[in-house]
Amino acid sequence: MVDLGYESKIQEAVAEVDQPQSTPISDETVLSSGVRLRHKKFSRLILQAILDKFPYPEPPKVKIPEKDRYEINPNSPQYKEQIAQIDMQRSMAIIDAVIVFGTEMVYKPDSLPDVDDDGWIDDLDLLGIPVKRDNKKSRFLAWIKYEAMRDTETDLAKIMSAFSNLSGVSEEAVAEALDNFRSVQERSANTGN
């Protein structure tokens, strides 16, 4: 007599081995300040709307006398600089969107001010950094950027990597956004802005 229970257990074990074993994606990130963020999915249409706000200009045209016509010149230094500026603006806006729509705070160390406190916003006002006090998402974004991220580049890399894993956005796109962020930081350091 065949033990059917035993046979089904073997089939279940074989089925488990045949299944790809995936590493579970952590849905939380701990920032350098000790703040813990939970990651959440949000509509990719938000990211598309951001890209649409920063369209690329048409490349300039240059007259080619030998051919007696105009041709586009995507290698123009001014055009390349415009594209680089737009890429930086896009990257910064996408990073902001990922923080605002793709994270929520689950823990804050007592050493940091609360998001709802106005003292840290008053300090930013002194420096000319605007924060919409009456907008919860604006406050949260500013608080994460200026209070919770002590090691900005590392913290952004953690947030963007978690976003990539959760949403399926390519690591290359995340790396490009972070590279553009680094370019902004380098320019700010060089120009004092």
Could you tell me where the DSSP H helices lie in the chain?
4-18, 44-53, 77-102, 119-126, 136-143, 152-167, 171-191
In the three-class reduction of DSSP (H, G, I as helix; E, B as strand; rest coil), residue 67 is classed as coil
Q: Which residues of the chain have pLDDT under 50?
A: 1-4, 6, 9-10, 13-14, 17-25, 188, 191
Residue appearing with tokens 């406190």:
117
Q: What pLDDT is recorded for position 125?
A: 95
Q: What pLDDT is recorded for position 26?
A: 62
CA distance 31 to 121: 20
58 inside domain: yes
CA distance 173 to 10: 44
Q: What pLDDT is recorded for position 24?
A: 44
Q: Which helix (H) or strand (E) holds 72?
A: strand 69-72
Q: What pLDDT is recorded for position 38?
A: 95
CA distance 140 to 142: 6
* Among 96, 116, 111, residue whose Cα is nearest residue 159: 96
Q: What pLDDT is recorded for position 148?
A: 96
27 CB-side CA count, 13 A: 8
167 inside domain: yes
15 inside domain: no
Overall number of domains in the chain: 1
Q: In which domain, by residue range, is 80 found?
A: 25-191
* Among 153, 190, 152, 144, residue whose Cα is nearest residue 175: 153
Q: What pLDDT is recorded for position 124?
A: 95
Q: What pLDDT is recorded for position 22?
A: 44
111 inside domain: yes
169 inside domain: yes
Please indicate, yes or no, whether the overall pTM of this predicted structure exceeds 0.75. Answer: no
Q: What pLDDT is recorded for position 174?
A: 58
